[in-house]
């Protein structure tokens, strides 16, 4: 889920991680303002990318092309290019029988939540389209990252005339159970205003702990687990770093598992 377009965190800030560190933030401060800022930036970005990858979620609003279209331009903020899409994802295979006169397809996207869908088509390439589905046929399941093709507002005869007939022809023309990369779509996923969006209140807290753990790992060599008093070793009252990191990492893992359980759809396999 790594997204190369953003080098800055979008949901949390350096202060989010600094608050979790408490007095440990002093060890980061001795690095100097520039290096300390970079440590916090890297830690926050890494935490957000991990969450996006593990949760198959986009935190910020992201325009996504799942397929191949040389006529579209990818955004490149570093060179001030505002393109047609921000991220390129793999297209999806067509599986025999997933669409027929008595079967309507339902597809999962790689990223969620879905904000909107711009286009859905079956094609071998931009110049070899089989069908581009009317937008009012696209029924979106926003949170779980799924859409269904439903020929609403038309008679079965009209739906068939607009391309529903193709499925049987494809199944007969191809002897394989899978036609690679036949599904193409463009969509927008993520959360508007991720730094303040109330839907992400809980996630921002967990992101701050994950970022703080990343900061500790960056300066761990500078932080003693004990201090010397009168030549003898004296254990500080602070919880040992290894225990703190273990607690925070377990907290992150528990949150990720819980979030996925609540927001990811169950996929059934027919045998």
Condensed to tens digits (0 to 9), the pLDDT of residues 67-84 reads 888 889 988 877 788 889
> Can you give the pLDDT at residue 148?
92
Mean pLDDT for the chain overall: 83
268: in domain = no
Pair 180, 70 in one domain: yes
130: in domain = yes
pLDDT at 100 over 80: no
List 103's β-bridge partners, or say none: 100
- The percentage of the chain sitting over the pLDDT mark of 70, rounded to a whole number, equals 80
Are 216 and 223 contacting, i.e. CB atoms less than 8 angstroms apart?
yes
> Can you give the pLDDT at residue 151?
78
Q: What are phi and psi of 149, to 5 degrees?
A: -95, 110
Residues 6 or more apart in contact with residue 167 via CB below 8 angstroms: 97, 99, 100, 101
Pair 88, 145 in one domain: yes
84: in domain = yes
270: in domain = no
Distances (CA, A) of 138 to 53, 102, 122, 125, 252: 26, 17, 14, 21, 35
Pair 183, 79 in one domain: yes
**Chosen domain end from 189, 217, 241:** 189
Q: Residues 127-142: what's their mean pLDDT?
A: 87
158: in domain = yes
269: in domain = no
Pair 181, 230 in one domain: no
Cβ-count burial of 269 within 10 angstroms (0-12 exposed, 13-18 middle, 19+ buried)? exposed
Pair 55, 66 in one domain: no
3-state DSSP assignment of residue 120: strand
Q: Angle of helix 33-55 relative to helix 14-21, nearest 10 degrees?
A: 100
Are 35 and 14 contacting, i.e. CB atoms less than 8 angstroms apart?
no
103: in domain = yes
Per the structure, the count of domains in the chain is 2
> Can you give the pLDDT at residue 61?
96
Are 42 and 165 contacting, i.e. CB atoms less than 8 angstroms apart?
no
Q: Residues 24-45: what's their mean pLDDT?
A: 94
- What is the C-alpha separation between 268 and 143, in angstroms, rounded? 18
- What is the C-alpha separation between 190 and 143, in angstroms, rounded? 10
- The percentage of the chain sitting over the pLDDT mark of 90, rounded to a whole number, equals 51
Pair 32, 75 in one domain: no
Pair 151, 252 in one domain: no
Q: Which carries the bigger pLDDT value, residue 129 or residue 19?
A: 19
Q: Which carries the bigger pLDDT value, residue 126 or residue 200?
A: 200
Pair 81, 177 in one domain: yes
3: confidence class by pLDDT, cuts 50, 70, 90:
very low
**Chosen domain end from 133, 158, 189:** 189
Pair 217, 125 in one domain: no
pLDDT digits (tens, 9 = 90+) for 173-228: 667 788 888 899 999 999 999 999 999 999 999 999 999 999 999 998 887 765 44
Distances (CA, A) of 157 to 101, 163, 214: 11, 10, 59
Pair 69, 52 in one domain: no
Asked whether the whole model's pTM tops 0.85, one would answer: no
Count how many residues are written for the chain.
Answer: 271
Distances (CA, A) of 55 to 48, 50, 86, 143, 178: 10, 8, 19, 12, 27
Are 31 and 43 contacting, i.e. CB atoms less than 8 angstroms apart?
no
Pair 222, 247 in one domain: yes
Find the angle CA(68)-CA(136)-CA(197) to the nearest 5 degrees: 75
Q: Residues 5-16: what's their mean pLDDT?
A: 86
> What is the dihedral sign for C-alpha 94, 95, 96, 99?
negative
Expressed as residue numbers, the domain containing 255 is: 14-59+198-263
Q: What are phi and psi of 191, to 5 degrees?
A: -120, 125
Q: Which carries the bigger pLDDT value, residue 165 or residue 19?
A: 19
> Can you give the pLDDT at residue 157?
60
98: confidence class by pLDDT, cuts 50, 70, 90:
confident
**What does the DSSP 8-state code read for residue 112?**
B
- What is the C-alpha separation between 270 and 238, in angstroms, rounded? 54
235: in domain = yes
Pair 119, 69 in one domain: yes
> Can you give the pLDDT at residue 87?
93
């Amino acid at each position: 889920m790594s997204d190369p377009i953003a080098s800055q965190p979008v949901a949390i800030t350096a202060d989010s991680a600094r608050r979790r560190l408490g007095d440990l933030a002093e060890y980061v401060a001795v690095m100097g303002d520039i290096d300390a800022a970079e440590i916090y930036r890297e830690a926050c970005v890494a935490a957000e990318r991990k969450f996006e990858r593990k949760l198959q979620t986009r935190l910020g609003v992201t325009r996504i092309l799942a397929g191949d279209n040389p006529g579209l331009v990818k955004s490149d903020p570093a060179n001030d290019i505002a393109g047609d899409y921000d991220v390129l994802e793999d297209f999806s295979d067509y599986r025999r029988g997933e669409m027929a006169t008595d079967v309507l397809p339902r597809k999962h996207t790689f990223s969620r939540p879905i904000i909107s869908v711009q286009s859905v088509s079956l094609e071998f390439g931009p110049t070899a389209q089989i069908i581009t589905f009317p937008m009012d046929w696209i029924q979106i399941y926003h949170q779980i990252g799924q859409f269904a093709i439903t020929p609403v507002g038309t008679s079965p005869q009209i739906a068939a005339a607009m391309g529903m007939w193709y499925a049987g022809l494809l199944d007969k023309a191809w002897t394989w159970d899978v036609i690679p990369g036949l599904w193409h779509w463009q969509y927008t996923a993520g959360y508007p205003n991720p730094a303040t969006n109330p839907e992400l209140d809980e996630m921002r807290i967990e992101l701050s702990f994950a970022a703080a753990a990343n900061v500790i790992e960056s300066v761990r060599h500078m932080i003693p687990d004990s201090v010397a008093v009168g030549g003898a070793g004296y254990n500080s009252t602070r919880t040992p770093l290894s225990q703190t990191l273990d607690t925070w990492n377990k907290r992150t893992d528990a949150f990720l598992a819980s979030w996925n359980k609540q927001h990811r759809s169950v996929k059934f396999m027919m045998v």
